[in-house]
Structure 1
Amino acid sequence: MTIPGQDGVDRELVDLERLAPWMDEQGLPAGDFERVEVLAGGTQNILVRLERGGRAYVLRRPPRHLRKASNEVLRREARVLSALAGSDVPHPGLIAACPDEDVLGVVFYLMEPVDGFNPSQRLPAAYATDEAWLRAVAFDVIDGIAALGAVDHEAAGLGDFGRPQGFLERQVGRWMHELGTYGELKGYGGPRIPELDRVARWLDDNRPVAWTPGIMHGDYHLANVLFEHDRPRLAAIVDWEMSTIGDPLVDLGWTVAMWPGEGAPIGPAAALNDVRGFPTPAELIARYAERSTRDMSAIDWYTVFACFKCGIILEGTYARACAGKADKGVGDVLHAITLALFAKADTYL
C-alpha cells in the first residue's frame, strides 16, 4: 500500500499509515499527507514537518537509536507544553500528544509550526546590520525566561513534575557523581580539569539558602530559541527535554554563561561571538531583575553553576570519545569547551 507523503520520510521514523488513524481519533483534519520532510536542527530528538487536511504540523519524536529515557523525555516535554498553553511564555503550541508507544513504537507529539529561525549559526541581514534589533531581541530572550519563572507551576498542573525540595543542595553532588561514572569508560583517564575541586567547593560553600521553585527550561541559550524574521522578537523557546521544577534562576545563569561575546567559551552560539551589538551579561541580569521579583543577589552562583554543570555534561562526550564510543574530534572540541567553562567559572570565585 502506498501512502501519499511516505516517500518524504523514512517509515521507521514516522509510519504515516499508522499516524493517520491516530490523528483521526484526535479529531484532526483528515486527508492525504503532503510536504512531509525531516527538519534540521534537532540534535537529540527528531522533527518532522507535515501537512494534512489543510493544516500544518511538526511531529517531534525521540532519536532513531533510543536512549534509556528517550520516551519519558518526550512525555515530559509534551506535558510542559500543555501546561504553558495560554501563558506569556513564547513556545510551540501543543496540538496533540501520544504518551504511549503503540502507534509509532515511540512517544511523540504534534505541535504548531513556528515561523522563526534559530540565531545560533547566522543572523539575517536585518539583525546583523542593526544593533537596535540585536538589543531588542536579546532582552526579549531574557523576558522569555522571566515569564517562564513567573508561571505558577502548581496551578499549571506541574506540582509533581520535579523535586524542588533540596534541589540546589543536590546539584554539586549529583554532577560530581555523574563525572565519576565516566571513569567506567575504558580509555578515559579521568577528568583533567584544574579548577574542578575549587569550583565544586565554592558552589557548596556559597549556595543560596532561600529561593522560590518554578519551571526551569534547563538548557536555555541561543541555540534553543527561535527569532521572528521580520521584527526583533522571540518567536518561541524550543527543546524542552531538560525542563523540570527547580530554581528558575539557573536558566538565567545558563544564559549568562553561554552568552556570545569577546572571551566567551566556544559554545552553541560561537558563531555570534564576534557580532557587535548584543547587550552585556550585566545588562541581561538587570533586565531580568526588572521583570522578576526573584532575589538576584546570588546571580554569580548561578553563572558558576551553569559553567560547572555544562562542563561536566560535555566532558561525558569526551569520555565516550576516549572509549571509542563517540567521534574523537568532537570529543576533543567539547573537552576544550569544558576547560574554558571551568576557567570562566574560576573568574567569579
Structure 2
Amino acid sequence: MHEPTAAIPGVDLDRLTAWLRESGTSDAPVEDVRAVGGGTQNIMVAFRSGALDVVLRRGPLHPRERTNEALRREMRLLRALAPTPVPHPRVVAACEDPDVLGGSVFYLAERVEGRNPVLGLPDGVADDAAARHAMGISMVDALATLALVDHEAVGLGDFGRPAGFLERQVPRWRGELARYAELTGDADHGLPGVEELAAWLERHRPATFAPGVMHGDYHLANVMFRTDAPAVAAIVDWEMATIGDPLLDLGWMLVTWPEPGRPALIAGELATLGGLPDRRELAGRYAERTGRDLADLDWYVALAGFKLAVILEGTCARARAGKADASIGAQLHDAAVEILDRAASVVAG
C-alpha cells in the first residue's frame, strides 16, 4: 500500500468521494491516494475505492480555454477504442461537469500495470538486448493496431476533419512560427533550415491518403510496457488524437526514435542501451502489419520533424518572452534543432 496523500491540488477528496457515490460508481471511501507523474500539465491521481483501482485524469489547476474540450474528446476516443485490440487505458467513469473538481472535467481509467520506459525498465530488460528489440517491435505493432481501426465503425466518423488534412499541416505550423515572432518581437525564430524544409514539404506532399485514427504524439514517453513481458501494456496521453493520416504517427515515432551517434531525444535507459530495431525494420514491420504503402514515408518523417520542432520551439519563445522557464526553453530549443536536423537528413537522403 502507498502512503495516503493528505491533499493533492486540484482534487478535493471530499467532492470526489461524493461524486463517486452520487454517480453510482462507488460507495466506498477513497484510499491509497497518490499523484502520478505524466508528460503533460494535466493532473493525474491514482486511488482505490472499494473494488476500484483507478487513475483520475483532469486538467491543470488553471485550465486553458480549450482544456475541457480536449479532455471530453479524449474520453470519447478512449471509450470508442474499448471494443478494439488497441492497448489503452480503459475508461471506468467520467464526469463532464467542470464544477465538481474546480473547473475541470475528469475521467477515471483502470490503472495500467506497466512501466513507462523513460522512468524505468521492466526487470531484466537492461541486461537483455533481445527483450529491448522485442519492446521496439511491440511498440510499432501497437501503432499498426491503431492504424487498422475503422474509425467510422467505432463511432468516430466526425471526430476530425480528414479532408484537407495534409494540405493544412505546413501552413498551420508556419502560422505558429509567426505567432512566436509576435510574442518575442523577434522575426528570427532560431530554427535553422525550417523554411527550406517547409517549402520541400509543400512541393512533395502526397496527393491522397487513407484516413484513420491518429494518436498525434507517438513516441517512447507515451507508452507503458508490461512488467512481465517486453510488450506494450497501453498507449497513453491521447489529447492530440484526431482523424487524419496515420502515417504521420509512424513518421513521429521514427523521427524521435533513438539512433546510434545521435543525441537521445527521449531520456531513459532504453534510448541509450542499444538493441532496439532500427527505423528500417520498424517501417517494414508497420507495412507488413497494416498493408499501407510507405512510398512517401520520408515525407511523413520530415513533416513530423517539422511539426514537432515548431511545437518545442513554442516553449523557447515563451521563455524568451519571460513567460516560461529559461533553462527549459533552451533545452527544448536544442531538441527542436536536433529534430530539424534529423528531418533534413531524411530529405537529403
TM-score category, normalised to shorter length: over 0.9
Which residue of 293, 314, 317 corresponds with 2:315? 317
Question: Which has the larger displacement, 311-320 or 336-345?
Answer: 336-345
* Correspondence for 2:16: 19
Question: Which has the larger displacement, 8-17 or 278-287?
Answer: 8-17
Shift of the alpha carbon at 1:24? 2.4
Per-residue CA deviation, residues 117-164 of structure 1 (Å, 9 max, x unaligned), is: 000244244111111111111111001111111111111111111100
Shift of the alpha carbon at 1:243? 0.4
Q: How far apart, in 1, do the equivalents of 2:88 and 2:169 lie? A: 27
Which residue of 106, 111, 116 corresponds with 1:118? 116
The aligned runs of 1:1-349 (5 Å cut-off) are 8-10=5-7, 12-104=9-101, 105-186=103-184, 188-269=186-267, 271-349=269-347
Question: Which has the larger displacement, 53-62 or 6-15?
Answer: 6-15
Shift of the alpha carbon at 1:16? 2.1
Contiguous gaps of at least 5 residues in structure 1: none
Shift of the alpha carbon at 1:7? 7.0
Question: Which has the larger displacement, 192-201 or 242-251?
Answer: 192-201
Q: Indicate how the Cα distance of structure 1 residues 270 and 187 shifts in structure 2: closer, same or farther if over 3 A, else same.
A: farther
Question: Which has the larger displacement, 28-37 or 312-321?
Answer: 28-37
CA contact (8 A) 1:211 1:295 kept: no
CA contact (8 A) 1:217 1:242 kept: yes
Any idea what SS the aligned residue of 1:66 has? coil
Q: How far apart, in 2, do the equivalents of 1:158 and 1:9 lie? A: 40
Q: Indicate how the Cα distance of structure 1 residues 162 and 92 shifts in structure 2: closer, same or farther if over 3 A, else same.
A: same
- Over aligned residues, Cα RMSD in angstroms? 1.8
Per-residue CA deviation, residues 23-64 of structure 1 (Å, 9 max, x unaligned), is: 224332311111011112243211101111232111000111
Per-residue CA deviation, residues 57-109 of structure 1 (Å, 9 max, x unaligned), is: 11000111322221111111111100000211000111111123131131100
Any idea what SS the aligned residue of 1:8 has? coil
Structure 1: which amino acid aligns with 2:190?
A: R
Q: How far apart, in 2, do the equivalents of 1:334 and 1:69 lie? A: 24
Question: Which has the larger displacement, 240-249 or 185-194?
Answer: 185-194
CA contact (8 A) 2:264 2:272 kept: no
Q: How far apart, in 1, do the equivalents of 2:263 and 2:245 lie? A: 24
Any idea what SS the aligned residue of 2:172 has? helix
TM-score w.r.t. length of structure 2: 0.94
Q: Indicate how the Cα distance of structure 1 residues 210 and 70 shifts in structure 2: closer, same or farther if over 3 A, else same.
A: same
Q: Indicate how the Cα distance of structure 1 residues 43 and 294 shifts in structure 2: closer, same or farther if over 3 A, else same.
A: same
Q: How far apart, in 2, do the equivalents of 1:13 and 1:7 lie? A: 16
Question: Which has the larger displacement, 313-322 or 336-345?
Answer: 336-345
Per-residue CA deviation, residues 157-199 of structure 1 (Å, 9 max, x unaligned), is: 1111110000001000000001110012236553122211110
CA contact (8 A) 1:56 1:112 kept: yes
CA contact (8 A) 2:115 2:122 kept: no
Any idea what SS the aligned residue of 2:124 has? helix
Across the two proteins, how many residue pairs are aligned to each other?
345
Structure 1: which amino acid aligns with 2:79?
A: S
CA contact (8 A) 1:22 1:103 kept: yes
Shift of the alpha carbon at 1:272? 3.7
Q: Indicate how the Cα distance of structure 1 residues 271 and 202 shifts in structure 2: closer, same or farther if over 3 A, else same.
A: farther
Structure 2: which amino acid aligns with 1:301?
A: W
CA contact (8 A) 2:252 2:304 kept: yes
Any idea what SS the aligned residue of 1:74 has? helix
Any idea what SS the aligned residue of 2:210 has? coil
Q: How far apart, in 1, do the equivalents of 2:248 and 2:85 lie? A: 20
Structure 2: which amino acid aligns with 1:226?
A: M
Any idea what SS the aligned residue of 1:306 has? helix
